[in-house]
Amino acid sequence: MSFRKVVRQSKFRHVFGQPVKNDQCYEDIRVSRVTWDSTFCAVNPKFLAVIVEASGGGAFLVLPLSKTGRIDKAYPTVCGHTGPVLDIDWCPHNDEVIASGSEDCTVMVWQIPENGLTSPLTEPVVVLEGHTKRVGIIAWHPTARNVLLSAGCDNVVLIWNVGTAEELYRLDSLHPDLIYNVSWNHNGSLFCSACKDKSVRIIDPRRGTLVAEREKAHEGARPMRAIFLADGKVFTTGFSRMSERQLALWDPGVRRFCLA
């Protein structure tokens, strides 16, 4: 006769976190309440950027990492978009350059002053226009300078040369439905995407071809996400048909995109 264990076995059962003191936190930030599945923040070795509520357009805060505590409501913002900002991403090659995507269908690239903002920043360095619907995903290329990926609700992925404001590649036939997220691999030769049709795809942007696809990676109707790991595997989060949270690790090179 077997007895059910009352206590769940876990290596972390007796591990407790220590709350950070208030003076080491960021307080009074009015984080955006726009209906979009995003982290609404981005960080690099110098700055923290947070998308915030704004009237008459979109805006985000850029705070030096050392500026913790209560944030003044009058603190200057980056506020050049005419619609709410949906995603932001710091350039991996320059800690003072950040890109933003917005409901106004544009992508803007900003140069942040070395010591942070002292007044509102309204003039972007570059404006990238190519999407017909709101832009919800921004991702800098991990190895090539001035190369930026954007994806919009028009189901189109665009690869930009930020230095010349030109489209390098337009991928408009690989996603039949809304794109949830995009992630580059370690050298930027491929990217993976999670789509509303429940498929995870690996795409070669230079050739514009589908390298691998996993249908029904998670069978739930709620949004899922996929990221490339350093060893080339793909890690996904999603939900089952019963809305139970799921995590999965996939190997694209084994029997057509199977569980690792």
Higher-pLDDT residue of 260, 185? 185
Chain centroid to CA 3: how far? 46
Per the prediction, the chain carries an average pLDDT of 92
- Report how far apart, in Å, the C-alpha atoms of 247 and of each of 2, 63, 77, 234, 240 are: 30, 33, 36, 11, 10
Q: Which two tokens stand for residue 243?
A: 């809305």
Rounded-to-integer distance, Cα 155 and Cα 181, Å: 11
Q: What is the pTM of this model?
A: 0.89
pLDDT value at position 17?
A: 82
Higher-pLDDT residue of 5, 238? 238
Q: Which two tokens stand for residue 150?
A: 């954007």
Task: Please state, for a pLDDT cut of 70, what percent of the chain lies above it.
Answer: 94
pLDDT value at position 7?
A: 59
Q: How confident is the model at residue 23 (pLDDT cuts 50, 70, 90)?
A: confident
Domain range annotation of the chain: 24-171, 175-259
Q: Cβ distance 141 to 147 under 8 Å?
A: yes
pLDDT value at position 46?
A: 97
Q: How confident is the model at residue 1 (pLDDT cuts 50, 70, 90)?
A: very low
The single-letter DSSP state of residue 20 is: P
In degrees rounded to 5, what are phi and psi of residue 215?
Answer: -80, 145
Q: Give pLDDT tens digits for 173-231.
A: 999 999 999 999 999 999 999 999 999 999 999 999 999 999 999 999 999 999 999 99
User: In this structure, which CATH number among 3.40.50.970, 2.130.10.10, 3.90.650.10, 3.10.129.10 belongs to the domain 24-171?
Assistant: 2.130.10.10
Flag whether pLDDT at 3 surpasses 70: no
Q: Give pLDDT tens digits for 62-84.
A: 999 998 999 999 999 999 999 99
